[in-house]
Amino acid sequence: MSIIVQKYGGSSLADIDKIMRVANRIIDAKKQGNKVIAIVSAMGKTTDNLVTLANQISKNPPKREMDRLLSTGEEISMSLLAMAIQSLGENAISLTGPQAGIMTDSIHNKAKIINIVSDRLLKELENYNIVIIAGFQGLNENNDIATLGRGGSDTSAVSIAAALNADLCEIFTDVDGVYACDPRIVPNIKKLTAISYDEMLELANLGAKVLHPRSVEVAKTHGVTIHVRSSFNHNIGTIVKEENKMEHNGLITGIAHDFNVAKVVVFGIPDIPGTAANVFRELAKSNINIQMIVQSSQINNKNDIAFTCSLSDARDAKNILENIAKELGAENILIEENLAKVSIVGAGMMTHSNIASQMFEALAKSDINIDMISTSEITISVIVDSSQCEKAVKALAEEFKLV
Ligand code: ASP
Ligand code: MG
């Protein structure tokens, strides 16, 4: 008997009709002779609504309580779905993350799964139960509920698939799979039949919302094949797996964009050994996640250092650096917020040298000004004004023949 792990996102569980439809789909999978585990997200916009409630009390609510609050959304879905399956005459049981043995580290709001104690899960499957598990949550070393970061149910599903050595991990969502860019920007964009772990990981990290980045990391480490597909039809979606050289998607596989980016500039610091170390040491201490860094060449023995990070990290970074500006010898600290990051991703880049110039030409033709540039082995990212983001994505989709 095969073990199948399915994950249903919030839009697939948004109301009772949809929950009944998901229940039928899970029962079908069981009737085909499989042991089925389903991981669920919170219904519809539940998590957003809970965040809004908390923010009416505080802009910076205590992280432990926030985790406890947000984790309730998944618990509503899991119970309703288990009831729905039982109402259709099948055996099902719902388990919270802790009941399912999902153990995390102790970083509230962005915990990582460190272990899954699968005894209970396996026992329930042996009893011919369909097991429904609350995604996004686990139990940390202090016996407290921790959540995995927004979108984290994907990671719960892939981690359980890895722990049980499942035959398949299906991620059900409201679109037909992974597209080469956001179809809300380019409606006729290509759907990808398959994508490698490395490319998917870059796209997810650079802002594509379809999969939680950590889920792709776990899949890659444990060799879990992911099938991203729609819960509203039976179409084949997108397979995320180890790269197969024969199936290259072309030079560029996808385009990601991200509005959650800001630039911090440290003006006029002395051009002597140790200044960059001083700046980034302080930021690292506060867990600020730095993305791009640019240091200008020195004038009058002074440098400017600019870097990008998420909006909330940038605001924290500005405060931290202002407090130590004197020690750094910095003249001024500035933050710029109305920006977006647009990135192209493709394993084909490793063997072609002219992709960067092709990208910049395409942006120039659309009269888009580039603020910062960074590259890695399989990505090129640019920072542009946020008002230019959609135009940039469209131009690049055309240029790299992704429509
Ligand atoms: N409900 C959580 C969120 O909205 C987790 C998830 O959906 O994966 O971020
Ligand atoms: Mg999601």
In degrees and rounded to multiples of 5, residue 310 shows phi and psi of: -65, 160
Q: Could you tell me if residue 179 is inside a domain?
A: no
| 43-51 average pLDDT score | 98
Q: If you compute the radius of gyration of the chain from its CA atoms, what whole number of angstroms results?
A: 23
| Average pLDDT of every residue of the chain | 95
| 303-322 average pLDDT score | 94
Both tokens of 362, joined, read 């395409």
Kindly give the distance from the C-alpha atom of residue 311 to the centroid of ligand 1, in angstroms, as a whole number. Answer: 20
Residues with a CB atom less than 6 Å from ligand 1: 10, 41-42, 47, 73, 135-136, 150-153
How buried is 189 (Cβ within 10 angstroms: 0-12 exposed, 13-18 middle, 19+ buried)? buried
Kindly give the distance from the C-alpha atom of residue 74 to the centroid of ligand 2, in angstroms, as a whole number. Answer: 13
Half-sphere exposure of 216 (CA within 13 A, CB side): 24
Does position 360 have pLDDT exceeding 90, yes or no? yes
Q: Could you tell me if residue 19 is inside a domain?
A: yes
Kindly give the distance from the C-alpha atom of residue 132 to the centroid of ligand 2, in angstroms, as a whole number. Answer: 17
Q: Could you tell me if residue 79 is inside a domain?
A: yes
The answer to whether the CB of 11 falls within 8 A of the CB of 49 is no
Total domain count, the chain: 1
Both tokens of 277, joined, read 């170390």
| 29-36 average pLDDT score | 96
Measured from the Cα of 10, ligand 1's closest atom is 7
| pLDDT at residue 348, rounded to an integer | 87
| pLDDT at residue 353, rounded to an integer | 81
The answer to whether the CB of 264 falls within 8 A of the CB of 313 is no
| pLDDT at residue 274, rounded to an integer | 92
Measured from the Cα of 9, ligand 1's closest atom is 7
| 389-400 average pLDDT score | 98
Tens of pLDDT, residue by residue over 233-254, are 999 999 999 987 655 667 899 9
| pLDDT at residue 99, rounded to an integer | 98
| pLDDT at residue 263, rounded to an integer | 97
| pLDDT at residue 300, rounded to an integer | 84
Q: Give the domain extent around 141.
A: 2-174
Tens of pLDDT, residue by residue over 147-171, are 999 999 999 999 999 999 998 999 9
CA nearest 256: which of 336, 359, 340?
A: 340
pTM of this structure? 0.92
Q: Could you tell me if residue 144 is inside a domain?
A: yes
Q: Could you tell me if residue 113 is inside a domain?
A: yes
CA nearest 36: which of 7, 16, 15, 9?
A: 7
Kindly give the distance from the C-alpha atom of residue 150 to the centroid of ligand 2, in angstroms, as a whole number. Answer: 8
Q: Could you tell me if residue 71 is inside a domain?
A: yes
Q: 């839009």: which residue's tokens?
A: 11
| pLDDT at residue 249, rounded to an integer | 61
| 304-321 average pLDDT score | 94
- What is the pLDDT confidence band of residue 286, given thresholds at 50, 70 and 90? confident
- What is the pLDDT confidence band of residue 394, given thresholds at 50, 70 and 90? very high
| 308-323 average pLDDT score | 93
Q: What CATH number does residue 41 fall under?
A: 3.40.1160.10
Question: What is the dihedral angle through the alpha carbons of 357, 361, 363, 369, rounded to the nearest 10 degrees?
Answer: 90
The answer to whether the CB of 104 falls within 8 A of the CB of 152 is no
Does position 31 have pLDDT exceeding 90, yes or no? yes
Measured from the Cα of 74, ligand 1's closest atom is 1
Q: Could you tell me if residue 398 is inside a domain?
A: no
Q: 């750094």: which residue's tokens?
A: 328
Tens of pLDDT, residue by residue over 54-91, are 999 998 899 999 999 999 999 999 999 999 999 999 99
CA nearest 122: which of 141, 100, 144, 98?
A: 100
| pLDDT at residue 59, rounded to an integer | 83
Q: Could you tell me if residue 125 is inside a domain?
A: yes
What's the CA gap between 204 and 215, in Å, rounded? 10
Pocket perturbation via mutation, ligand 1, pick of 68, 74, 148, 153 by most ligand atoms within 8 A of CB: 153
